[in-house]
Amino acid sequence: MKKGRILITGSNGLLGQAVVSIITRESDFELVLSSVEEKSNININQEYIQLDITSKEKVKKTVADAAPDIIVNCAAYTDVDGCETERELSWRLNVDAVKHLIIAARPAGAKIVHFSTDYVFDGKNGPYDETAIPNPISFYGRTKLAAENALLSSGIKNAIIRTMVLYGAGSKVKPNFATWLVNKLSAGERINIVDDQIGNSTIVDDLAYGTLKLIEAEKEGIYNIAGRDIESRLDFTFKLCDVFGYKKELIKTIKTRDLNQPAPRPLNSGLITLKAQSELGFEPMGTVESLQLLKYQLGY
C-alpha cells in the first residue's frame, strides 16, 4: 500500500498510544498526533497538535493543516457512569466531535476510522456479530450508536471498529479494569467483582494491531476487534490472579445490581471477531497470554 498520512486524535490516551506505537513500528505511514493536552505523552519524534475535538473550527483547521489521508479517532468520553450523569458533555465528545471530524474530512478527502463499543447492544443475547441490531440501554451506548450512524450516513469513507473491556499499559493514562485489579490486589485489598457480566476482555495491543490491519487492507464498514476469550469479569479476574500470583481469597463475588451504578450494563454481551479474523488476518490473544504480556509491560 502507498505511504500516506494519518491524523490520530486522542493520541495521549491508552488506545491512542498503542495505535501510534504499532503504526510507527510496523508501517511507513506519516503520523500527525493530536490530543486535548498541551503536550504529547509519547516520547516519540512525531508532529503533535493540541486539539479539542469539541471545537468545530479547531477540528477543521487541524485537518486542513495536517491534510491526512486517514483520520483515526481514538478520542472519546468512555466513563459509562459519567456519561449517564454528564449527558451534554458526553454527547459533545462522543457525537458532536465525530460530526466535526466528518465535516473536516469531506474537503480533505480523508477516511475516518472510528472506535465503538458492545454497549450499542442491550446484552440480552450476546455474543454479537457485525450484523446484529443495536439496542443501547445506557446513555454512553446511545452516544456511541449515534456516532456510528453519523459516520454510516455521512457519504465519506469510514470504518467502525467495535471493541470492549479495553485494558493495557500506557504512559500517564487513567486506570482500566486490569490495572485497577493489579493496584488493588497487589496491595492486598479486598475487592468485589461481578460474575454476571460476560464479554471479551481486550488488551490494547490487540486492538491497535487489528486497527493497523484494517487500515492496510483499506476496509470500510463495521468490524469487531476484541480479545479471543468470552468470559465473565470474575473469570478474567481469577486468570489475572493466576498470572500475577495474587490471592483469590481477596475476591468477593457479587451481581451487577449490587453495585447500584448510574448506568445499566449489557450483561450477556461479547463480540464475535470472525469477520476481522477472516478478512484482516486478525488473530487475537487469549486472556492468559494477554495478561502475561501486561505483566511484562508493567514490570512485574
pLDDT tens by residue, 190-202: 999 999 999 999 9
- pLDDT score for 91: 98
Give the list of residues 6+ apart from residue 265 with CB closer than 8 angstroms, or none.
80, 123, 138, 197, 256
Nearest to 78 by CA among 160, 156, 151, 15: 15
Q: Is 140 a catalytic residue?
A: yes
- pLDDT score for 44: 83
- pLDDT score for 1: 43
Model pTM above 0.85: yes
Domains and CATH numbers, the chain: 5-170+201-229+271-285 (3.40.50.720)
How far from the centroid of its chain's Cα atoms is residue 195's Cα? Answer: 23
Task: Please list the ranges in the chain whose pLDDT falls under 70.
Answer: 1-2
Can you tell me the distance from the alpha carbon of 38 to that of 60, in angstroms, rounded to the nearest whole number? Answer: 19
Residue with cell 500527525: 32
- pLDDT score for 232: 98
Q: CA angle, 275 as apex, 126 and 13 as ends, to 5°?
A: 80
In terms of C-beta distances under 8 Å and separation of at least 24 residues, what long-range contacts does 292-296 make, across chains too?
292/243, 293/203, 293/205, 294/167, 294/168, 294/169, 294/178, 294/203, 295/243, 295/244
- pLDDT score for 45: 86
Output the nine-digit C-alpha cell for 63.
485537518
- pLDDT score for 43: 83
Nearest to 160 by CA among 105, 108, 206, 98: 98
- Which listed residue (48, 77, 128, 140) is catalytic? 140
Can you tell me the distance from the alpha carbon of 222 to that of 174, in angstroms, rounded to the nearest whole number? Answer: 27
Can you tell me the distance from the alpha carbon of 31 to that of 288, in angstroms, rounded to the nearest whole number? Answer: 32
Residue with cell 446511545: 142
Collapse the DSSP code of 223 into the 3-class scheme (helix H, G, I; strand E, B; otherwise coil) and give the result: strand
- pLDDT score for 145: 98
For the chain, how far is it from start to end, CA to CA, in angstroms? 39
pLDDT in tens, 111-134: 999 999 999 999 999 999 999 999
Can you tell me the distance from the alpha carbon of 63 to that of 98, in angstroms, rounded to the nearest whole number? Answer: 13
pLDDT in tens, 56-98: 999 999 999 999 999 999 999 999 999 999 999 999 999 999 9
